[in-house]
Amino acid sequence: MLNAVILVGGEGTRLRPLTERMPKPMLPLLGRPLIDYTFDHLRSAGVGKAILACGYLPTQIQAHFGENAEGLELEYRVEPEPLGTGGGIRFGADGLDRTFLALNGDSLREADLARLIEFHRDRGAAATILLTPVDDPSRFGLVRVDDQGRVTGFLEKPKPEEIDTNLINAGLYVLEPEVLDLVPEGKQVSIERDVFPILADRGRLCALALPGYWLDVGTPASYLQAHLDLLERSAGNNIGPAVEGGDIELVPPVMAETEVVIEDGARVGPLVYLGAGSRVGSGAVVERVALLPGAVIPSGARIAGAIVSPEFGVIAA
Ligand code: GDD
Ligand code: MG
């Protein structure tokens, strides 16, 4: 059985105030917690068990999912203090004795992980990183690879003058247990800064870019983007019978959950998600917006490019 360690210990600082009382993995995306999309992906890749390395607000995840997410066994390990990404992986992987996956819990991904594992085995790597292209690598881990797929350089948060590729660490790794020996106990260890450079020097670190979707949900802008991407895929309007309202204009794609109210004269869309129980006041104009469950847009408001929260109101994205 294939195991995965998921890092969910971060505080999600750039998504405050949304993450003040809710850990980032539990933020809703089209009515489901963000981490649920990762569970889907892992399950479809044949992962049988996921160990969640938790720190910040861990109980909410456990209270929601319990020990099993539709066939994916879940175990929660709560770090006594933040151990960093490397420390968290070591802590979560303690006791695993064969190849496993480790991943950041804050991204949305779709990629053929069986191919990644096969590539890892073919290369005899100790660790293999899934890569993805981005426009601006500066916020990520930049990965230089040779034509065999061996990593020749790993630069976490590269400086502008260091950027010579658009391939970055997509935050998912195939790891051999021997990698854990490179993570000293009892202090914070970053797998990106402290472990990958050593493995690269030894020629034991490989990386592969695979086609598929990837989005790091770290800011209000990328959290909104996650909604917009899913709306775009759904195309057209998807508004359940529960939407109330008379003289309204819906510009597709618009998606609405149950008990949504859109008042007279409002124009909604394109690219609007209306969470359960949300409300758009009369005459409001709303475009490229995600209304979280229960959120309210006042009458006459014009809002574009935002997340709207029931507690915190409009968060510009
Ligand atoms: N358990 C645990 N303990 N988890 C942690 C800790 C910790 O001390 N610190 C961070 N995490 C978790 C976060 O919750 C997140 O899921 C993941 O580790 C990565 O941490 P971030 O703080 O979100 O890092 P980042 O987004 O700046 O960069 C990372 O992700 C990029 C891709 O999204 C790096 O891995 C980059 O190299 C990568 O490109
Ligand atoms: Mg992140």
210-244: per-residue pLDDT in tens?
999 999 999 999 999 999 999 998 866 777 554 66
Dist CA 257 CA 231 (whole Å): 13
Burial label, 274 (beta-carbon count in 10 A; 0-12, 13-18, 19+): buried
Q: What is the pTM of this model?
A: 0.94
Dist CA 239 CA 112 (whole Å): 32
Q: Kindly list the strands in the beta sheet with 261-262, ordered across the sheet, starting from the edge strand earlier in the chain.
A: 261-262, 279-280, 296-297
Instruction: Say which residues have a Cβ less than 8 Å from residue 70's Cβ, sequence separation at least 6.
Output: 39, 43
Q: 138-146: list long-range contacts, CB under 8 Å, 24+ apart.
A: 138/163, 139/216, 139/218, 140/168, 140/169, 140/216, 141/168, 141/169, 141/192, 141/196, 142/167, 142/168, 142/169, 143/167, 143/168, 143/169, 143/207, 145/206, 145/207
How far does the centroid of ligand 2 lie from the alpha carbon of residue 297, in Å? 29
Can you name the residues that pair with 304 across neighbouring β-strands? 287
Q: Determine whether the shortest distance from the Cβ of 106 to ligand 1 is under 6 A.
A: yes
Using the atom order of ligand 1, give the atom closest to the CA of residue 82: 8
How far does the centroid of ligand 2 lie from the alpha carbon of residue 107, in Å? 7
Tell me what the mean pLDDT of segment 177-184 comes to: 97
139-155: per-residue pLDDT in tens?
999 999 999 999 999 99
280 with 247: CB under 8 angstroms?
no
How far does the centroid of ligand 2 lie from the alpha carbon of residue 102, in Å? 14
Q: Which residues surround ligand 2, an ion (CB under 5 A)?
A: 106, 218
55-105: per-residue pLDDT in tens?
877 789 999 999 999 999 999 999 999 999 999 999 999 999 999 999 999
Instruction: Say which residues have a Cβ less than 8 Å from residue 301's Cβ, sequence separation at least 6.
Output: 281, 284, 285, 286
Q: Tell me the CA distances in angstroms from 47 to 32, 228, 233, one per residue in order.
A: 20, 28, 26
